Amino acid sequence: MLSLSLKEALSRLKDGSLSAKELCEKCIDRAVKTRELNAIVTPTYSQARKQAEVAAQTWSRTGKSTTSARKLEGLPIVVKDNFCTKGVHTTCASRMLENYVPPYNATVVQRLFTQGAVLLGKSNMDEYGMGSGSVDSIFGPVRNPWKYEFTNTRTIPEGTLDTSSLLASPQSPGEALGTRGLHRSVHPGTGGSNPGLHEEGAWRVAGGSSGGSAAAVAAGICFGALGSDTGGSTRNPSSYCGVVGLKSSYGLLSRHGLIPLVNSLEVPGIMARSVDDVNTLQNIMAGTDEHDSTTLTDDRFVTSDLPEDIDVKHLHIGIPKEYHAPGLSPDVLDAWRRAADKFEQAGAKVTEVSLPHTQYSILCYIVLCCCEVASNMARYDGIEYGHRGQQELSTEQMYAMSRHEGFNEVVRGRIFAGNFFLLRRNYEQYFLKAQRVRRLIKDDFTRVFDEGVNVLLTPTTLTDAPRYDWFTAADNRTRNEEQDIFTQPINMAGIPAVTVPAGLTSNGLPIGLQFIGQMFKDKEMLTVAKWFEQQVQFENLNLDHLDN
């Protein structure tokens, strides 16, 4: 039941064959049984039960014959831990915000609540969204639920610390954090021995930085999740975990209450088990927000339901030749080719196109990302915001100590690099140059679309989900260059993109393909993606055996 799509679950709530309370309990049970994934860092089960109770009452009042129930009445969701949630810890998986409890909800979160969504918990991520594996978190890494052997599936009551899955690891930052929630101090993957792993580090990463959200959707913990997407952080983990991941056009979704990483590139990301579902969630959240001046003031672009009968005959699908990148695995290449063939067989025009500046994109992304990170992170001084170093020191030393203790190495590295790029003597050579190239990257897309292409089709990632030990053998910058290679140019251009599961590799792991659309033509892109989804008939991961 927990591998149903949001749409299917909603219709079962509507016809009364499922109750909101039952659904909530099932999701909580699944979250507990899959806690080895480390997907949820702050469970909110009490709040979820209260919200589900309200939903159950609403459903029994409104009944199946009316349409007066809210659009997500009783549907469990998960929210990445960089979105503010009123009264619920919001840590960005960083020691810096370890004790931060926001007094307000991010606009997108509020809009989901207004439609009756039930919050099951906050999800794990790379610290502040910097990473592509969800391995750099103070709570420890997220595990990919695909091909994962669960060993510890006992149900334990909320609020009890589950010490049985606590692995003794000297590097486990989660341990130092105490036991605020059920999963707080679980640090899977390093040290100790886990009978579920045939080989140490052999399990697959969930991708990042929104890995907790993707793993939660794939594992059936929830029916939809919020991630964020700055350079690929929603699409990369969605691809690795076999779910649909949407990065909307910049300006369609409010960023108010999303703790900033790179303001000019990031958008809230949406994950679910079908294209219709991400579209539904986008419709609910999209539109003007007085708290975010970069949101559209014209609600014309907010999408509606996607059609059922889709015809792709009149379409022109572009295949960018620059995406045949070194390191592309034969399985992914094959899936990409087969997808292009499907469109061609259905009568669409499929042609190779060129986006010549793609090759410069990742380096420009890194420069711009670091510059904005350096400026965004300046607010965390230990006085106004965030963790404060304990020693009695001078003010300057206290700033330094707070920031040294509060941020991990990746964050500190990006702050250093950003400040370097922004030095007066470097500004023109790095920051300004990267901005200019960014414009050329955007112009490449505009030209191709102006020439008649409706949607571009590319792989989302080079390979299937990497092994944890392989992933952590290189530094963050190297991984950034490999992992975000196909996703970050889309953020540079501000346009929409969605990843859709296209099948499995010979390893039995999901492959994602990316559809890239024109600015504010999210609906056209999603319609094409839905057509593809209908052809592929991808089977969602089914963990129902854990229920027994």
74 makes contact with ligand ASN (CB under 6 A): no
Are residues 354 and 320 in contact, defined by beta-carbon separation less than 8 angstroms? yes
496 makes contact with ligand ASN (CB under 6 A): no
Q: Which is nearer to ligand ASN, 230 or 540 (CB)?
A: 230
231 makes contact with ligand ASN (CB under 6 A): yes
Identified binder of ligand ASN from the candidate list 480, 514, 518, 527, rule CB under 6 A: 480
Which residue among the candidates 209, 238, 249, 361 is catalytic per the annotation? 209
- Among residues 401, 407, 370, the alpha carbon closest in space to that of 388 is found at 401
209 makes contact with ligand ASN (CB under 6 A): yes
CB of 60 to ligand ASN, least distance (A): 41
Which residue among the candidates 33, 80, 521, 530 is catalytic per the annotation? 80
230 makes contact with ligand ASN (CB under 6 A): yes
- Among residues 412, 499, 369, the alpha carbon closest in space to that of 94 is found at 412
Stretch that binds ligand ASN, among 123-131, 149-157, 185-193, 492-500 (CB under 6 A): 123-131
Measured distance CA(58)–CA(60) in Å, rounded: 5
What is the Cα 375 distance to its own chain's centre?
A: 23
233 makes contact with ligand ASN (CB under 6 A): yes
Q: Is 209 a catalytic residue?
A: yes
> What is the identity of the amino acid at 236?
N
124 makes contact with ligand ASN (CB under 6 A): no
For 432, other C-beta atoms within 10 Å of its C-beta total 13
Q: Which is nearer to ligand ASN, 93 or 315 (CB)?
A: 93
Q: Which is nearer to ligand ASN, 220 or 231 (CB)?
A: 231
Identified binder of ligand ASN from the candidate list 162, 229, 464, 533, rule CB under 6 A: 229
Identified binder of ligand ASN from the candidate list 105, 110, 123, 132, rule CB under 6 A: 132
Identified binder of ligand ASN from the candidate list 484, 522, 524, 533, rule CB under 6 A: 484
Are residues 414 and 127 in contact, defined by beta-carbon separation less than 8 angstroms? no
Measured distance CA(60)–CA(67) in Å, rounded: 13
- Among residues 233, 309, 306, 221, the alpha carbon closest in space to that of 272 is found at 221
Q: Which two tokens stand for residue 510?
A: 């999901």
318 makes contact with ligand ASN (CB under 6 A): no
What is the Cα 190 distance to its own chain's centre?
A: 23
List beta partners, residue 270. Answer: 226, 246
For 328, other C-beta atoms within 10 Å of its C-beta total 17
Identified binder of ligand ASN from the candidate list 76, 131, 181, 188, rule CB under 6 A: 131
Q: Is 80 a catalytic residue?
A: yes
List beta partners, residue 225. Answer: 78, 271
Dump strand ranges (E) for 390-494.
Answer: 455-459
CB of 253 to ligand ASN, least distance (A): 15
34 makes contact with ligand ASN (CB under 6 A): no
212 makes contact with ligand ASN (CB under 6 A): no
Q: Which is nearer to ligand ASN, 102 or 129 (CB)?
A: 129
CB of 296 to ligand ASN, least distance (A): 22
Q: Is 165 a catalytic residue?
A: no
The footprint of ligand ASN on residues 425-454 (CB under 6 A) is none
41 makes contact with ligand ASN (CB under 6 A): no
Stretch that binds ligand ASN, among 168-176, 231-239, 289-297, 427-435 (CB under 6 A): 231-239
* E strand or H helix at 412: helix 409-421
Measured distance CA(365)–CA(375) in Å, rounded: 15
DSSP state of 124: P
Residues in the chain, overall count: 548
Which residue among the candidates 123, 210, 233, 238 is catalytic per the annotation? 233
499 makes contact with ligand ASN (CB under 6 A): no
**Which residue in the block uniquely carries the two structure tokens 């003794």?**
168
Q: Which is nearer to ligand ASN, 185 or 460 (CB)?
A: 460
Q: How far is CA 418 from CA 253, 411, 503, in A?
A: 27, 10, 39
Identified binder of ligand ASN from the candidate list 43, 76, 121, 129, rule CB under 6 A: 129
Are residues 232 and 190 in contact, defined by beta-carbon separation less than 8 angstroms? no
Q: Which is nearer to ligand ASN, 472 or 540 (CB)?
A: 472
CA angle 414, 132, 6 (to 5 degrees): 135
Which residues neighbour 419 within 8 Å (Cβ) at sequence distance 6 or greater?
Answer: 374
Are residues 503 and 240 in contact, defined by beta-carbon separation less than 8 angstroms? no
Which residues neighbour 263 within 8 Å (Cβ) at sequence distance 6 or greater?
Answer: 255, 294, 372, 376
Stretch that binds ligand ASN, among 39-47, 52-60, 226-234, 314-322 (CB under 6 A): 226-234
CB of 41 to ligand ASN, least distance (A): 17
141 makes contact with ligand ASN (CB under 6 A): no
Stretch that binds ligand ASN, among 47-55, 223-231, 452-460, 537-545 (CB under 6 A): 223-231
Measured distance CA(237)–CA(133) in Å, rounded: 8
482 makes contact with ligand ASN (CB under 6 A): no
For 447, other C-beta atoms within 10 Å of its C-beta total 14
**Which residue in the block uniquely carries the two structure tokens 């969602």?**
540
Identified binder of ligand ASN from the candidate list 369, 377, 448, 455, rule CB under 6 A: 369
Q: Which is nearer to ligand ASN, 42 or 210 (CB)?
A: 210
Stretch that binds ligand ASN, among 25-33, 95-103, 129-137, 529-537 (CB under 6 A): 129-137
In the chain, what is the straight-line distance between the N-terminal and C-terminal CA atoms, in Å? 13
Q: Which is nearer to ligand ASN, 227 or 517 (CB)?
A: 227
Q: Which residues are catalytic?
A: 80, 209, 233
- What is the contact surface with ligand ASN in residues (CB under 6 A)? 129-132, 209, 228-233, 261, 369, 480, 484
